[in-house]
A and B are shown apart, each in its own frame.
Chain A
Amino acid sequence: MDFVNLASQLNAGTIVPEGIVIITFLGVLIVDLILGRSSSRWIGYLAVAGLLSSLVALYFQWDNSNPISFIGAFNGDDLSIVFRGIIALSAAITILMSIRYVEQSGTALAEFVAILLTATLGAMFLSGASELVMIFISLETLSISSYLLTGYTKRDPRSNEAALKYLLIGASSTAVFLYGVSLLYGLSGGQTELSAIATGIETANLGQSLGIVISLVFVIAGIGFKISAAPFHQWTPDVYEGAPTPVIAFLSVGSKAAGFALAIRILTTVFPLVADEWRFVFTALAVLSMILGNVVALAQTSMKRMLAYSSIAQAGFVMIGLIAGTEAGYSSMIFYLLVYLFMNLCGFTCVILFSLRTGTDQITEYSGLYQKDPLLTLGLSLSLLSLGGIPPLAGFFGKIYLFWAGWQAGLYGLVLLGLVTSVVSIYYYIRVVKMMVVKEPQEMSDVVKNYPPISWNLPGLRPLQIGLVTTLIATSIAGILSNPLFTLANNSVANTRILQESMAPSPQVSVVTSKLP
Chain B
Amino acid sequence: MISALIWIPIWGAAIIALLPAKIPSNRIRLGAALVAGITFAWNILILFQFDINNPNIQLQEYLPWNETLGLSYKLGVDGLSILMLLLNSLLTWIAIYSSSKETRRPRLFYSLVLLVSGGVAGAFAAQNLLLFFLFYELELIPFYLLISIWGGEKRNYAGIKFLIYTAVSGALILASFLGLVWLSGSSSFDYDAISTQTLSATLQLILLAGIVLGFGIKIPLIPLHTWLPDAYVEANTPIAILLGGVLAKLGTYGLLRFGLGLFPEAWSTLAPTLAIWGAISAMYGAVTAIAQKDIKRMVAYSSIGHMGYILLAAAASTPLALVGAVAQMFSHGIILGILFHLVGVVEAKVGTRELDKLNGLMSPVRGLPVISALLVLGGMASAGIPGMTGFVAEFIAFQGSFPVFPIQTILCVVATGLTAVYFVILLNRTCFGKLDNDLAYYPKVFWHEKMPAFILAGVIIFLGIQPTYLVRWSEPTTTQMVANIPAIQKTVIPRIAMNQSTFNSEQ
A interface residues, Cβ below 8 angstroms from B:
328, 331, 385, 390-392, 396-397, 400-401, 403-404, 407-408, 412, 415-416, 419-420, 422-423, 426-427, 430, 433-434, 437-438, 482-483, 486, 490, 509-510, 512-513, 516-517
Contacts and interface: CB of A to CB of B under 8 A. Distances in A.
B69 A400 contact: yes
A400 B181 CA distance: 13
Interface string B137-170: 1101100110011000000100110011001101
Q: Most chain-B Cβ atoms within 10 A of its Cβ — which of A408, A426, A512, A516? A: A426
Interface in B456-471: none
A400 B68 CA distance: 11
Contacts of B159: 438
Which of B141, B179, B200 has the largest count of A CB atoms less than 10 A from its CB? B141
Given A427-B163, A434-B148, A486-B68, A407 B134 contact: no
Chain B residues touching A, majority SS:
helix
B287 interface: no
A415 B164 contact: no
Contacts of B198: 513
Interface in B277-291: none
Contacts of A420: 171
Nearest to A483: B66
B167 to A, nearest CB: 4
Contacts of A404: 69, 178, 182
A513 B69 contact: no
A422 B69 CA distance: 19
A423 B167 contact: yes
A415 B171 CA distance: 10
B164 A396 contact: no
Interface in B172-223: 174-175, 178-179, 182-185, 198-200, 202-203
A391 B148 CA distance: 20
A408 B181 CA distance: 10
Given A403-B178, A407-B179, A517-B202, A426 B148 contact: no
Contact of B171 (A391, A397, A422, A482): A422
29 contacts: A390-B137, A390-B140, A396-B137, A397-B66, A400-B69, A400-B130, A401-B68, A403-B174, A407-B179, A415-B175, A416-B175, A419-B171, A419-B174, A419-B175, A423-B164, A426-B140, A426-B163, A430-B141, A430-B144, A430-B160, A433-B141, A434-B156, A437-B145, A437-B149, A438-B145, A486-B68, A512-B183, A516-B203, A517-B202
A479 to B, nearest CB: 9
A433 B160 CA distance: 12
B174 to A, nearest CB: 6
Contacts of A391: 134-135, 137-138
B189 to A, nearest CB: 9
Interface of B: 65-66, 68-69, 130, 134-135, 137-138, 140-141, 144-145, 148-149, 156, 159-160, 163-164, 167-168, 170-171, 174-175, 178-179, 182-185, 198-200, 202-203
Given A392-B138, A400-B130, 8 more contacts: A391-B134, A401-B68, A423-B170, A423-B171, A433-B141, A483-B66, A510-B185, A513-B185
A490 B178 contact: no
A427 B160 contact: yes
B110 to A, nearest CB: 16
A392 B183 contact: no
Contacts of B134: 391-392, 396
Contacts of A396: 134, 137
Contacts, number: 89
Contacts of B130: 400
B181 to A, nearest CB: 9
Given A385-B141, A420-B171, A397 B200 contact: no
A243 B253 CA distance: 51
B159 to A, nearest CB: 8
A409 to B, nearest CB: 10
A485 to B, nearest CB: 10
B352 to A, nearest CB: 23
A482 B66 contact: yes
Given A331-B68, A419-B174, A430-B163, A516 B138 contact: no
A513 B199 contact: yes
A482 B66 CA distance: 8
A385 B137 CA distance: 12
Contacts of A422: 167, 171
Contacts of A419: 171, 174-175
Contacts of A390: 137, 140-141
B109 to A, nearest CB: 12
Contacts of B141: 385, 390, 430, 433
A427 B145 contact: no
A360 B175 CA distance: 40
A483 B167 CA distance: 26
B156 to A, nearest CB: 8
Nearest to B189: A404
Contacts of A397: 66, 69
Nearest to A508: B185
Interface centre among A397, A404, A433 (most CB of B within 10 A): A404
The 10 closest A-B pairs by CB, nearest first: A509-B185, A419-B171, A423-B167, A391-B134, A407-B178, A486-B68, A391-B137, A438-B148, A426-B167, A438-B149
A57 B182 CA distance: 40
Nearest to B137: A391
A406 B203 CA distance: 19
B154 to A, nearest CB: 14
Nearest to A480: B65
B178 A415 contact: yes
A427 B65 CA distance: 30
A13 B472 CA distance: 71
Contacts of B145: 437-438
Contacts of A392: 134, 138
A155 to B, nearest CB: 40
A373 B292 CA distance: 43
Contacts of A328: 68
A388 B418 CA distance: 43
Contacts of A517: 200, 202-203
Nearest to A422: B171
Contacts of A512: 182-183
A427 to B, nearest CB: 7
A509 B185 CA distance: 6
A27 B164 CA distance: 52
Contacts of A433: 141
B490 to A, nearest CB: 24
A427 B66 CA distance: 29
B84 to A, nearest CB: 20
A390 B163 CA distance: 12
A407 B182 contact: yes
A509 to B, nearest CB: 4
Contacts of A331: 68
B104 to A, nearest CB: 9
A490 B68 contact: yes
Contact of A423 (B168, B185, B203): B168
A427 B164 contact: yes
A512 B179 CA distance: 12
Given A390-B140, A430-B163, A513 B183 contact: yes
Contacts of A408: 182
A390 B185 CA distance: 27
B497 to A, nearest CB: 33
